[in-house]
């Protein structure tokens, strides 16, 4: 179970890193809106999963 939580935290950090990566002045500059969207979705989805798992742990359910 601890590895799952660490994986979720690493995914959230990857989402933040994807938001901060500078793509201007590169050939990938056109993909910046897509990478921002993917980063935001990763942060939101994995944060919701962590909150769900925490709530289930508090309620005593697996």
Query: pLDDT tens for residues 19-46?
Result: 999 988 889 889 999 999 999 999 999 9
Q: End-to-end CA distance of the chain, in Å?
A: 10
pTM: 0.84
| pLDDT greater than 80 at residue 1 | no
| pLDDT greater than 80 at residue 62 | no
Q: Which domain holds residue 48?
A: 2-59
What DSSP character marks residue 28? T
State how many domains the chain has.
1
Report pLDDT digits (tens) over 3-12: 888 999 999 9
């Amino acid at each position: 179970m601890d590895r799952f939580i660490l994986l979720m935290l690493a995914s959230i950090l990857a989402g933040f890193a994807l938001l901060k990566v500078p793509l201007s002045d590169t050939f990938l500059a056109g993909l910046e809106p897509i990478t921002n969207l993917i980063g935001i979705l990763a942060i939101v989805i994995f944060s919701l999963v962590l909150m769900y798992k925490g709530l289930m742990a508090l309620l005593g359910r697996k």
